């Protein structure tokens, strides 16, 4: 089985649970290689909880099979708001898009993909408080825990990152791998996965 290269995008005030959920799921599999990245290159990121994470890898979307974009709060002054206003992360995400790359987001991370123009006219979801903003940017909001539109996979608020991780594990490595992750984590998936195509 070919390893799945997952790059998780971090930035200051990123919501811890948004990325810890899916990376914990991916960590159960020996077939996933995980890397933290920032659009600014190697540096220390301070999460919403105040944890400091040292990111050593370069921004290299060409080396990723999956780029995971966690949320970082909502509203003026939030981590997501600051990144949208700064503009460099949405620009880098837009430039990263290519055949074979899956872009995934948890919670308000979907707003960063929207700012990159990647959700316009596409089925997607986010935390319920941010749905109107996502619609205003052209996203076709689906009321589902996880929304899989092929190369764009999004999930709802915070804890849905676990469900996103389990769905992507099933999609890339099969239901047995997803069941193993559920057993190891003692977590059973919640809600509906909406998907446009059969993978």
Let me know if residue 48 belongs to a domain. Answer: yes
CATH of the domain at 53: 3.40.50.880
- According to the model, what pLDDT value does residue 199 have? 47
Decide if 89 is inside a domain: yes
User: Does residue 31 belong to any structural domain of this protein?
Assistant: yes
What is the tally of structural domains in the chain?
Answer: 1
Residue 37, φ and ψ in degrees, nearest 5: -135, 155
Question: What pLDDT, on a 0 to 100 scale, did the predictor assign at position 50?
Answer: 98
> Which residue range(s) make up the domain with 171?
4-194
Residue ranges of the chain whose pLDDT lies below 50: 198-199
Residue 199 covered by a domain: no
Residue 60 lies in a domain: yes
For residues 167 and 103, what is the distance between their CA atoms, to the nearest angstrom?
14
Distance CA 151, CA 197 (A): 11
CB proximity list for 14: less than 8 A, separation 6 or greater:
45, 47, 48, 70, 71, 72, 79
Q: Round the CA-based radius of gyration of the chain to a whole number and report it.
A: 15
């Amino acid at each position: 089985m070919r390893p799945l290269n997952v790059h998780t995008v971090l930035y200051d005030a990123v919501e811890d649970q948004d990325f810890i959920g899916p990376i914990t799921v991916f960590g159960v599999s020996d077939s996933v290689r995980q890397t933290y990245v920032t659009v600014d290159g190697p540096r220390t990121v301070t999460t919403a909880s105040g944890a400091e994470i040292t990111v050593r890898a370069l921004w290299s979307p060409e080396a990723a099979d999956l780029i995971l974009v966690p949320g970082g709060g909502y509203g003026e002054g939030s981590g997501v708001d600051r990144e949208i206003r700064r503009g460099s992360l949405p620009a880098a995400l837009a430039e990263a898009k290519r055949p074979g790359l899956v872009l995934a987001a948890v919670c308000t991370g979907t707003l960063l993909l929207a700012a990159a123009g990647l959700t316009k006219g596409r089925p997607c979801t986010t935390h319920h408080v941010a749905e109107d903003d996502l619609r205003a940017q052209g996203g076709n909001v689906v009321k589902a825990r996880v929304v899989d539109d092929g190369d764009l996979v999004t999930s709802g608020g915070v804890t849905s990152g676990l469900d996103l991780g389990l769905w992507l594990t099933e999609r890339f490595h099969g239901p047995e791998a997803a069941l193993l992750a559920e057993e190891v984590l003692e977590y059973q998936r919640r809600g509906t996965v909406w998907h446009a195509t059969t993978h």
